[in-house]
Amino acid sequence: MTIDQDSVGTIIDLLQFDRCSGKFSYLKKYEIPNSAVAIGCCFSPNSRFLYVSGRYSLYQIDLFSKEKEIIKIDTIDSFIEILGGGFTGYVLFGPMERGPDGRIYNVSGTFRRMINVIDKPNLLGKACVVKKHSIRLAGLQETIPNHPNYRLGPIDGSPCDTLGINNIPVAEFRYNQDTSEYKKIEFTNLSWYEPDEFWWDWGDGSAMYYTTEWDTSITHTYPKDGVYQVCLRAKNMNGENTICKEIKLGTTGINSYNANIAIQMYPNPTHNLFIINVEDYLPSKMIMTIYDIQGKEVLHKRLYQGSNMIDLELMNAGVYIVEIREREIVVRSEKLVKM
C-alpha cells in the first residue's frame, strides 16, 4: 500500500503481494478528501478493514465493500497529557501496528506516553471500539517498533513452501467482559499457523462449541459466579494444539482473592482523565467511588474487566481518595491528585 498527499486529500493505492513470486499487483485506489497528512495505516486481523490515521482523525476503509466506503471512526479529544518539565500536550493519532492480541496500537508520532488502542478491529464502524489514551508507558516515545508478522508461517503445500516445516497450529485466545451483563464473556480467537477447526470448552458443563469458521469473537454466558477452566483446541492439516485459561467470574469467596485482583490506576497526578485497569478478574459488581478530603462522595462508576476510563473534567483541582469495592468489600484504596 502506498499513501500520497495531494491538494484534495490523501490518496491510498492498495496493492496485492504474491508471497511466492514476490510481485505486486494493483487493486484499488481510495481517497480521503480534505484530510490531514496520513501518518499511519494497519490492516485488521481478518484482512477486511484498513485503518488510516491522520493527526486528528482515524479512518476505517472496508476493503470488501464495492462502494469504497471510508468511515471516520474517531477524532482526538480534549485529554491533556502531563509530559514533565512543565510541558503538556494532546494525544494525537499516528503510526499503527497490530499486536499479537488482535488489537491495533496507535501512537501519537510525537513525544507522548499515552497509546491509543483499537480494541475490536475486525468490526465495522464504531463497533471496532477505539480506546483513546488508554495505555500509559513508563517513558516518552515518538514512534512504534516495526515488527514483522512472526506468526505468519509458510503457505503449506504451495510452490514457495520448500522447507517442509509443517507447523502445527498454536491455540490462543483472550476474553473481555460484557458491560451490560457481567456473566456474558466475549472470547477472541488469536490462534495462528492456519488452523481450520476449533473446539471451545467453556468449563461450565455446557456443550462444547465446534466451528470451522474463523470466529474471532464468540460470546458465552455463564450460569453463575465461579472459577472456570476455558479451553480452546485448534487443528490444521499437520496437527493440533490446546490452551486452557482459568477465569475468575465474580468469585463468591472474594476475600480469598483480594490480594490476587490486579488493579492499575493511572495517571496520577492527572488533569481530566483517570484510567483503572482490572486484570485477570471478571467483576460481579465492582464500584469505584471518589471522595474529597472531607469524605464527601464526588463521583462513582461501575468497573469491568479491562480498561475503565474515568472522566474527571468536572472535578475541582485537589486531593481525593479513590476507593474500589467488589460487592461491598474494599479491594483497593488510593490517593488521587487532580491538577
Q: Domains along the chain?
A: 2-141 (2.130.10.10), 173-249 (2.60.40.10), 258-338 (2.60.40.1930)
Residue 142 parent element (H or E): none
**For the stretch 151-160, what's the b/e string if a residue is b when 16 or more beta carbons lie within 10 angstroms of its beta carbon?**
eebbeeeeee
Q: How far is CA 126 from CA 37, 119, 120, in A?
A: 22, 11, 9
Torsion, Cα 262 295 303 325, to 10 degrees, reads: 60
The set of residues, in sequence order, having a beta carbon less than 8 Å from that of 165 and lying 6+ positions away, is 153, 154
Q: Give the closest residue to 48 by CA, choosing from 33, 29, 31, 69.
A: 69
Q: How far is CA 277 from CA 11, 127, 164, 192, 265, in A?
A: 38, 21, 43, 27, 6
- State the pLDDT at residue 255: 53
Write down the residue that cell numbers 471512526 correspond to: 73
- State the pLDDT at residue 66: 83
Q: What is the pLDDT of residues 100-149, one digit of tens each?
A: 999 999 998 888 888 899 999 999 999 999 999 888 777 788 888 888 88
Q: Which amino acid is at 172?
A: E
pTM: 0.75
What's the CA gap between 312 and 72, in Å, rounded? 26
DSSP string covering 258-312: GGG-EEEEE-SSBSSEEEEEEES-B-SSEEEEEEETTS-EEEEEEE-SEEEEEE-
6 φ, ψ to 5°?
-125, -170
- State the pLDDT at residue 251: 65
How buried is 89 (Cβ within 10 angstroms: 0-12 exposed, 13-18 middle, 19+ buried)? Answer: middle
What's the CA gap between 296 and 81, in Å, rounded? 27
User: Which three three-digit cell numbers place residue 231?
Assistant: 479451553
Residues of the chain with pLDDT under 70: 1-8, 34-37, 251-260
- State the pLDDT at residue 262: 84
